[in-house]
Amino acid sequence: MQRRTFVTGVAASVAFPLAYAQNLPSGPVRIIVGFAPGGGTDILARVIGQKLGDMWKTQVIVENKAGASGTIAADYVSKQPGDGTVLHMAHINSHAIVPNLQRLGYDAEKDFQPIALVGVTPNLLICGGMQPAKTVKDLVALCKANPGKISFGSAGPGSAQHLALEMFMLQAGVKAIHVPYKGSGPMLTDLIGGQVQYSFDTMTAATPHVKNGKAIAIAQTRQKRASGHPNVPTMNESGFPGFEATTWYGLVGPGKMSPALAKRMNEDVNKALAMPDVMEKLEASGAEDGGGSTEKFKEFMHVEQAKWAKVIKEANVKVDA
């Protein structure tokens, strides 16, 4: 009996990891990104994708399906099989903001299987050097003295930057002009040139201009200061308690994916996020606090949806469908 038990135990110890490994795709894996190459979402997808490809001993390809604030890519992934061959780099726009603004072809919660949060990036409240208000207190005073006249640029209607402005106006009790652009690039050009005065732009896009002195960072929009900008105060420290308006990224699969496969992939994403070279690249992009369980990421997205639904309702934000 002992011999049989020993053999069975050995067989189980061999069979279990083999069955475990078979949960992973045997062929190429595609990570679908909802934005153009070179942006923050694309950069993080490629960093993580390379490491996962090494660990899974297969090709991991980043494929860009840009447009409609990332919802084209999300809609595509929601309709794919759940075998792990098609994943999505989820984004605050496609999974928390736009679902509260428009009717979409997918349910941001039910049609996706969370895998892991990759990173959370603050927005930076910035301005060009010629602007008069260079502190949050002075900016609020400027907006109150000039109701509906101070301009804030964003990467587009319904973007994370736009909603950060709406949150600011609600909490400060002021009115300003929202000037939407087709991305951060052209908006930053105009901000530096003085055609638009202020912006809550992503840290990834704004940092190079802050570092070279062409833009001034007034505040950042997480509860804690990002390691890349230790001397820039938070909105919370600047008289806006609880103010948090971030851009975040996370890996998800289609809703048909099994929780077991998601958890298997989650382990490897967490391993990748802990690698020194990955940590360095994420920090350079301002992305922090990634990792954790699938359940943690699911709850995070749920809370984000509810938070932005409240802001959208209170600010009566409307965008063209």
Q: Assess whether pLDDT exceeds 60 at residue 10.
A: no
Sign of CA dihedral 154, 155, 156, 162: negative
| pLDDT in the model for residue 103 | 92
Q: Which 3-state string (H, E, C) describes the chain?
A: CHHHHHHHHHHHHHHHHHHHHHCCCCCCEEEEECCCCCCHHHHHHHHHHHHHHHHHCCCEEEEECCCHHHHHHHHHHHCCCCCCCEEEEEEHHHHHHHHHCCCCCCCCCCCEEEEEEEEEEEEEEEEECCCCCCCHHHHHHHHHHCCCCCEEEECCCCCHHHHHHHHHHHHHCCCCEEEECCCHHHHHHHHHHCCCCEEEEEHHHHHHHHHCCCEEEEEECCCCCCCCCCCCCECCCCCCCCCCCEEEEEEEEECCCCHHHHHHHHHHHHHHHCCHHHHHHHHHCCCECCCCCHHHHHHHHHHHHHHHHHHHHHHCCCCCC
Q: Is-contact 237 139, C-beta < 8 A? A: no
Q: Which tokens in the block code for residue 208?
A: 């190079």
pTM comes to 0.81
Confidence of residue 13 (pLDDT cuts 50, 70, 90): very low
Q: Is-contact 33 90, C-beta < 8 A? A: no
> Which of 208-212, 237-241, 283-287 is the least confident region?
283-287
| pLDDT in the model for residue 35 | 83
Q: Is-contact 249 44, C-beta < 8 A? A: yes
For the segment 115-148, what is each residue's pLDDT rounded down to a tens digit?
999 999 899 999 999 999 999 999 999 999 999 9
| pLDDT in the model for residue 15 | 40
Q: Which of 158, 119, 114 is nearest to 301 (CA)?
A: 114
> Which of 121-130, 201-210, 217-226 is the least confident region?
201-210
| pLDDT in the model for residue 273 | 97
> Which of 2-11, 36-45, 101-110, 158-167 is the least confident region?
2-11
Per-residue pLDDT averaged across 219-233, rounded? 92
Residue type, 296: K
Integer Cα distance of 158 and 164 in angstroms: 10
Per-residue pLDDT averaged across 66-95, rounded? 94
